[in-house]
Amino acid sequence: MNFKKITYFLLSVILSVFLALLIFEIFSQLIPVFSKNIPENNNIKYVYILGESSATGTPYRQKISFSKIIQYVSANKIDNKNIEIINIAVPTVRIVHQYYRYLIHRYLHPFDKGIVLVYAGTNDTSFSFPEKKYSFFYNFSLIQIISAYTGKAYDFQYIYELIIKLSKKFGDDIYISTLAGNYAGFMPDKVENLKDNKELTAYLDNIDNLFFEGKYEPALELCKKNIDDSAQQYFFYRMGKIYENQSKIKEANEFYVKAASIQNCDIIRTRPTIYQNRIIKYLALKYNVKCFDLFDKLYNSNEIIGYNFFIDKIHPTITVHIMLAEGFTDLLCEKYKITKINEQLTETQVKKKLNFSEDDVFRAYIQALSEIFVCIYRNGILDRYSLCEIEKYIFILKNLNLIDIKKEEQNETLEFLRKLLEYISNPKDELKGGIKEIYNHSSNKNYFYPINADFKKLLEDNNII
């Protein structure tokens, strides 16, 4: 008798769970159908922004981003409706988190049908391009939600495809963009190939010496001898530098991108790879989604893809935010009525229109420098190519016209940065341990971008002054 009761109880539990899952699946499928078939809001055009820190406007204190520029260039109107930006983007997350944030928001707001703009995936990586096919069961909402918590959270194609499919289920009009990063500005920082490898370190140092002496051809020959080496990302990067200084822009960009597209070449902030962009364009074709090819625009601009386009390793400059805004707006104009302002936008105009002050500029460059300092010393070999960029940033900070109350902080910051630059420029081995302590200390205390920082105490504590 007890056995029967236990059996009935277990069966009832299993049946209840099955029915609950079935009801969940039915509702999860019906709500998007309902949302897709209701008319849009007559007064508001909802615009969803999906992405990470690059989409939010880091390090511009969220005052400048491509979404804000779109609002400006369109006079905040699409089809004579006021634009309401729904910023799903958030710094530090992966693309899977964007999928969940978008999913939750749309299920909680089924009436808010609108436009989705995606510049996402800068915190993810992909080093393969398989044309994957998923089984019938992956069409179920519950399977998709659960699978995104598993190893598929790291499957760039799978998660990106879920976002596109979800937008189409809800009837949102989705537009996507390829990705890019600062390929010329940062040496690959994978440490395994350099750690305790004195022979490789000496070989690379020899190439660098030839480069800075202007002996480009001998340096290039040394790189080519190791083109198939397991540390080829370091040679690709240097070949990019050599070609850049020979004004061979196309060849330089090719090798910069190849260096960054080798698996695990970056430890701190991976830059978007060619494989991610192939996947994005493949999915755009597969689902008939309009795609703004930012990477191609930069790659074929006849300019080096470096600090002219990215303020640090992956965060776009204002110029690139303008490109993204104009690229998305041009695609939207093919379907919607948008009256664009008749201006050729510049960084100066955007900063003025979006009230971006000199103090905002100061904070942006300090935050960018914090990343640059850490990244260029991460690989255990001095990145001499990046030192001139730090000097340029220090020069920019020096010439900012801050209000009197900020002058003291500006001067203390400049003193700190000059000392730190001098410190890391010293190639002596005994300094390598000390610099890590400075990074950790400054990071923990937010010394790179605080409101009131005691920079002198930091320098004294680390025996720099």
The verdict on residue 1 lying in a domain is: no
Q: Cβ(109)–Cβ(38) under 8 Å?
A: no
The verdict on residue 23 lying in a domain is: no
Ordered alpha helix ranges (H), 287-386: 294-299, 318-333, 347-353, 358-376
- Predicted confidence at residue 439, as pLDDT, reads 56
Co-location of 138 and 275 in the same domain: yes
Question: What sign does the CA torsion over 248, 249, 252, 254 have?
Answer: negative
Co-location of 255 and 310 in the same domain: no
SS3 213: coil
Q: What is the pLDDT of residues 394-430, one digit of tens each?
A: 999 999 988 877 888 888 888 878 877 877 777 555 5
How many alpha carbons fall within 13 Å on the CB side of residue 455? 18
Among 305, 336, 353, where does a domain finish? Answer: 353
What value does the mean pLDDT take over residues 70-77? Answer: 95
Co-location of 282 and 157 in the same domain: yes
Among 206, 240, 260, where does a domain finish? Answer: 260
Co-location of 217 and 347 in the same domain: no
| Full strand arrangement of the beta sheet holding 173-177 | 77-78, 81-87, 44-51, 114-119, 173-177, 290-292
- With b for 16 or more beta-carbon neighbours within 10 A and e for fewer, the 439-455 pattern comes to beebeeeebbbeeebeb
Instruction: Name every residue whose Cβ is closer than 8 Å to that of residue 133 and which is 6 or more positions away in sequence.
Output: none
The number of residues making up the chain comes to 465
User: Nearest Cα to 383, choosing from 261, 222, 268, 220?
Assistant: 268
Co-location of 322 and 400 in the same domain: no
Q: What is the pLDDT of residues 18-30, one digit of tens each?
A: 676 666 667 767 7
Co-location of 173 and 68 in the same domain: yes
Q: Which residues on adjacent β-strands are paired with residue 47?
A: 85, 115
- Predicted confidence at residue 453, as pLDDT, reads 45
- Tell me how many degrees the CA angle 29-168-284 measures, rounded to the nearest 5: 140
* % of the chain residues with pLDDT over 70: 80
Among 213, 237, 260, where does a domain finish? Answer: 260
The verdict on residue 11 lying in a domain is: no
SS3 292: strand
Ordered alpha helix ranges (H), 38-140: 53-56, 66-73, 95-108
Co-location of 299 and 345 in the same domain: yes
Q: How far apart are CA 39 and CA 112, in angstroms?
A: 10
Co-location of 435 and 399 in the same domain: yes
Co-location of 301 and 219 in the same domain: no
User: Nearest Cα to 96, choosing from 124, 127, 68?
Assistant: 124
Co-location of 97 and 119 in the same domain: yes
Q: Cβ(297)–Cβ(323) under 8 Å?
A: yes
The verdict on residue 192 lying in a domain is: no
pLDDT(43) > 60 = yes
Phi and psi, residue 228, nearest 5°: -105, 10
**Which residue bears the tokens 């110029």?**
319
Phi-psi region of 75 (alpha: psi -120 to 50; beta: other; left: phi over 0): left
Phi-psi region of 45 (alpha: psi -120 to 50; beta: other; left: phi over 0): beta
The verdict on residue 30 lying in a domain is: no
Instruction: Name every residue whose Cβ is closer than 8 Å to that of residue 271 and which is 6 or more positions away in sequence.
Output: 181, 182, 183, 186, 260, 313, 314
Co-location of 289 and 433 in the same domain: no
- Predicted confidence at residue 438, as pLDDT, reads 57
Q: How far apart are CA 264 and CA 96, in angstroms?
A: 20
Give the CATH number for residue 254: 1.25.40.10
Q: What is the pLDDT of residues 312-368, one digit of tens each?
A: 999 999 999 999 999 999 999 999 999 988 778 899 999 999 999 999 999 899 888
Q: What is the pLDDT of residues 432-441, one digit of tens each?
A: 555 555 555 5
Instruction: Name every residue whose Cβ is closer than 8 Å to that of residue 91 and which is 6 or more positions away in sequence.
Output: 52, 53, 56, 58
The verdict on residue 22 lying in a domain is: no
The verdict on residue 10 lying in a domain is: no
Co-location of 58 and 165 in the same domain: yes
Give the CATH number for residue 337: 3.40.50.1110
Domain count, the chain: 3
Domain that holds residue 57: 44-182+271-353
The verdict on residue 53 lying in a domain is: yes
- Top-confidence residue, 28 or 96: 96
